[in-house]
Amino acid sequence: MTPPPALPVRVPLATDPLGIWGSLQAGRRNVLELIPEIATHAPILSGRTGKRWHMVMEPGALKRILRDRVADYPKSLVTKLILEPAIGDSLFVAEGASWMWQRRTAAPVFSHRNVAALAPVMTAAAERACARLDHSVGRAADLFDEMVTTTFEVISDVTFSGGGAFDRAAVHRAIEHYIAGTAKISVFDILGLPGWVPRPARLIAGGQMRAMKAMADAAIDRRRAEGGAPVPDLLDLLMAGHDPESGRQMTTGELRDNLLTFIVAGHETTALTLGWALYLCAFAPEVQTRARAEAQAVLGGRAATAEDMAALPYTRAIVEETLRLYPPAAFLSRTAQSDDALCGREVRRGDTVILPIYALHRHHALWRDPDAFDPTRFLDKRPERFSFLPFGDGPRICIGANFALQEAGIILATLLSRFRFAPVPGRAPKPVMILTLRPQGGVWLQVERA
């Protein structure tokens, strides 16, 4: 009998009821272990663990939550408790009028023209990554660590370009410390206690976050006093932006919270996408070979640019298939603000509504061979809109989605054109989600020149 084909690493989803204690343990170990295996087959699941919850995997119901009745399903209390100490009432966590004016102000910053204008920073970072990897040829290297370095260079250069007084290393350390130490589910979260009840672990990290914010405020005030950068960066564009309806502009605190949002989201999620993509390419040599041939034919030895992206469809498909299998934001939650019905199931005001993107992207009713790595599924046809949600959807779709896709494509094509990657036996990464879906243990790959 022919053995089934090998599949890339997968989260072991729950097969038995967890209860409150089991949910707390799973949530602190790996949030995705809260998802039942049956969620990859069912349209909706409901239950009670401290408070009522519903887990939604049906595209029509997801459209209702994310687009049609978005105001009735704001981000959950747990999400806000985790993120507000780091990024304040910025675009990612704000609701209602506060979110609306910030979105109107920031949207032009991420126009196609502005994103394309930032591409040379991405190309330069890809070149520096290649120079560093030249020193790893013939041995194993942690490609996730390398991608974190690369994408942090990009986001810091496009956010605070020329920011000599902005200690990028300190900001990076503060963000990493916050994510590792405080972005975990508390027993108080599981029990549904109100937000004014302190979560001790999240209080401990306050000092580093306050220092980071003070440093960002000083850099913003200095930019105001000295004028813009030679080539406008995200800070310049946001400072110049205004709400077209009210004319309101962002204060120093609002600029800082949104820039820190872009820094946290902009480097972490793209680094994860690239790390997982390189793991998958090493796992599937035939995919890597096809992508390399495409990249070498287009690039001819140089680093990729924004203008090359249209000629690299297979590279783009690898990025999208990576986002399907390992979406950085793999587990979202909302709190129902009014009574509703989803897939015929009663939803009451105050219920937690979970969007398990990890399960949605591996749902057997929506994807053929859902656990397999197959980039061609994104070449054959586009997936149903609300079955593929790496950046969310509706009015709150990720504002930096095009920026992230452009950056990932430029860096991935450049690396695959110059290097060959192979798995290191016994060092497969483990998908673990705390705030984002990370490869626990790193992405250790053997590096050779192409």
The pLDDT tens digits for 393-420 are 999 999 999 999 999 999 999 999 999 9
Query: What one-character DSSP code corresponds to residue 14?
Result: B
Question: What is the rounded distance in angstroms from the CA atom of residue 407 to the CA atom of residue 267?
Answer: 10
Percent of residues, the chain, with pLDDT higher than 70: 87
Please give the order of strands across the beta sheet that includes 419-423: 140-142, 444-449, 419-423
Question: What is the rounded distance in angstroms from the CA atom of residue 105 to the CA atom of residue 240?
Answer: 9
Q: Is 352:54 a contact under the CB 8 Å cutoff?
A: yes
Q: Is 139:118 a contact under the CB 8 Å cutoff?
A: no
Q: Is 398 annotated as a binding residue?
A: yes
- Where in the chain are the domains? 19-449
The tens digit of pLDDT for each residue in 284-315 reads: 999 999 999 999 999 999 999 999 999 999 99
Radius of gyration of the chain (CA): 22
Q: Is 63:70 a contact under the CB 8 Å cutoff?
A: no
> Quick one: average pLDDT of 130-153?
96
Question: What is the rounded distance in angstroms from the CA atom of residue 119 to the CA atom of residue 149?
Answer: 17
Least confident window among 125-139, 219-233, 257-271: 219-233
- What is the pTM (predicted TM-score) of this model? 0.92
The tens digit of pLDDT for each residue in 191-249 reads: 555 555 555 555 555 566 777 788 888 888 888 888 777 778 899 999 999 999 999 99
At the fourth CATH level, which superfamily is domain 19-449? Cytochrome P450 (1.10.630.10)
> Quick one: average pLDDT of 144-155?
94
State yes or no: pLDDT of 4 exceeds 80: no
Q: Is 105:241 a contact under the CB 8 Å cutoff?
A: yes
Beta strands in 95-206 (DSSP E): 140-142
